[in-house]
Amino acid sequence: ISHYWYKKFRTPTYQISSMICAALSAIVFWSELTLSVHWKFLSPIGLALQFTQSIGSTIVQTLTALLPLLYMSTCVYGSMFQVSFFGRYQLRGHHQSSAVALLFNAQYLVRLQFPLGYNYLYLLKLEQHTIAFSQLMKHMETVPVLGTSFGVYAPLIICALCGFTLCHGYARVWQFCGLDHEDAIFLNCEDADT
């Protein structure tokens, strides 16, 4: 059965999953860009949720709300587990992680959970006074700078960093400074090919 997987199914499966991930990344990116605008029709995630509300099917509405959140959670937590902490905080394979490492990573996972949920509720563009989570988090607004509009405009900084990374800005800065780095070497190889 592994022979059929490698010969016939692996490449199309990877291509389809990469297209789905690219589409979901574009949807999340667009929703993050329009986070500061209060028009409901600019967020594709909010539009899809409003459309499924008009259909009336609870299962379809739940799946529509779950799919982008599941994708965002997979990206956040997957990249968290890719980070290599050093020493006793490092996660090791084959059940070799210590209790301290498991506790540290679980604590870090919980710290990322609430900002992700808060950001996702803003992406949906729902009425904020009707959501219990927003009522819980509204006490953040007492902090002068970080509590008022930082949660809305911080994703724009992340979007700018995404664009900077997409355009190989880091490698171009290294190359402009005259420093050698593996990203700058990759940029030189691309320029040589064109």
pLDDT digits (tens, 9 = 90+) for 40-66: 778 888 888 888 888 888 899 899 989
Mean local confidence (pLDDT), 118-130: 77
What per-residue confidence (pLDDT) applies to 176?
Answer: 84
Whether the model pTM is above 0.85: no
What's the confidence (pLDDT) of residue 133? Answer: 75
Average pLDDT score over residue span 66-86:
87
- What percent helix, strand, coil does the chain show, rounded to 5? 80, 0, 20
Q: Please report the sign of the dihedral spanned by the C-alpha atoms of residue 151, residue 52, residue 44, residue 41.
A: negative
For residue 20, what pLDDT is reported? 95
Q: Is the dihedral of CA 139, 140, 145, 148 positive or negative?
A: negative
The two structure tokens encoding residue 34: 């329009």
Task: Compute the average pLDDT of residues 71-76.
Answer: 93
Q: Which residues contact 189 (CB under 8 A, 6 or more apart)?
A: none
- Phi and psi torsions of 146, nearest 5°: -75, -20
Q: What integer pLDDT is reported at residue 183 of this predicted model?
A: 58
Can you tell me the distance from the alpha carbon of 20 to that of 193, in angstroms, rounded to the nearest whole number? 29
Which pLDDT tens digit goes with each residue over 175-193? Answer: 788 877 665 555 555 555 4
Q: Mean pLDDT over all residues of the chain?
A: 81
What pLDDT is stored for residue 15 in this prediction? Answer: 96
Report pLDDT digits (tens) over 6-41.
888 899 999 999 999 999 999 998 988 888 777 777
pLDDT at 154 over 60: yes
Q: What span, in angstroms and rounded, lies between the C-alpha atoms of 75 and 11?
A: 22
**C-alpha distances in angstroms, 45 versus 63, 69, 77, 143, 178?**
12, 10, 21, 29, 43
> What pLDDT does residue 6 have?
85
CA angle in degrees (0–180, nearest 5) for 69-75-79: 150
Residue 146 has pLDDT above 70, yes or no: no
* Cα angle: 72, vertex 73, 79; to 5 degrees: 95
Nearest 5°: the CA angle 68, 74, 78 is: 160
Q: How far apart are the C-alpha atoms of 177 and 169, rounded to whole Å?
A: 12
The pLDDT assigned to 139 comes to: 66
